[in-house]
Structures are given as C-alpha cells and as structure tokens.
Amino acid sequence: MPMDSKERNKKGYRSSFAKSFTYAWSGLMFVLRTERNIKIHFGIAFFVMALSLYLHISKVEWLILFIVIGGILVIEILNTAIENVVDLVTEEYHPLAKIAKDVAASAALVFAFISVIIGILLFSPYLWAIIK
C-alpha cells in the first residue's frame, strides 16, 4: 500500500535524523581516535568531576563546570574540523593555512586560559577550607 505524504515525511525525517546522528558520532570517534589534546581534556575533565564529587560542590557550580568542559571539548572538535579543511585545501606550506590553523588553535588557548581562572575561582574556597 503506498504511503501518504505525511507518513513519508515522518519516515524520511526519522531516517535522516538517524543518519545525521551516525555521521556526528563517527566524527566524534574520529576526533577521539586522532586528537591527543582531546584525550588530555577528557582526562582533566574526569579528574575535575571526581574532585567536584569529593568536594560536594553546589548545583550552580556543577552547571558552570559542565559549560566549561563542554566548551573546551566543542572548541577542540571544531579545531579538528578546521585543521582537516585546511589540509584538504593545501598540504603545501601556505601563510593563510598557517593563519587559519593558528587562529583556530588560539580559540582553544583562550578558552583553556579562561577555564583555569574559573577553576581557581570555583575550587579555591573548598580547597582553602580543607588546608586551613
């Protein structure tokens, strides 16, 4: 029996959503397989989350932590995408390729710097209370 357009749209939406998810997942797996930095970020994130559980930080502080961790991971993922696009355009040395890669890397650097400041502000009262 032929499908009506509503049914077709529903099925098409579902399959395209599933496909998009599969592509995004394989992108994430690629980054995890190939990028040393993201493995380091995951390691730091697990350590910080374990510390947060131990220190019983507040709900708002958990929210801030997740935003910061998510921000770093997303920037590393986008950085990898930019690096690959640049390599696709040229594998030769090119000043614009250098600028594109260096500027993309600087986003990660800026966010990492801000994260350290947030980390100090967030954890120092707890750690100070322990050591004093």
User: How far from each other are the two terminal CA atoms of the chain, in whole angstroms?
Assistant: 76
Is 37 near ligand ATP (CB under 6 A)?
yes
Residue of 101, 118, 119, 123 interacting with ligand ATP (CB under 6 A): 101
Cα separation, 33 vs 46, whole angstroms: 18
> Encoding tokens for residue 66?
């997740």
Is 90 near ligand ATP (CB under 6 A)?
yes
Residue of 8, 26, 94, 114 interacting with ligand ATP (CB under 6 A): 94
Is 118 near ligand ATP (CB under 6 A)?
no
Q: Is 61 a catalytic residue?
A: no
Q: Which of 114, 38, 40 is nearest to 79 (CA)?
A: 38
CA 1 to chain centre: 46
Among 35, 76, 83, 91, which one carries the catalytic annotation? 76
Residue of 45, 55, 81, 97 interacting with ligand ATP (CB under 6 A): 97
Number of shown-chain residues binding ligand ATP (CB under 6 A) = 12
Tell me the torsion sign for CA atoms 98, 103, 106, 108: negative
Q: Are residues 32 and 38 in contact, defined by beta-carbon separation less than 8 angstroms?
A: yes
Residue ranges that bind ligand ATP, judged by CB under 6 A:
35, 37, 79, 83, 90, 93-94, 97-98, 101-102, 105
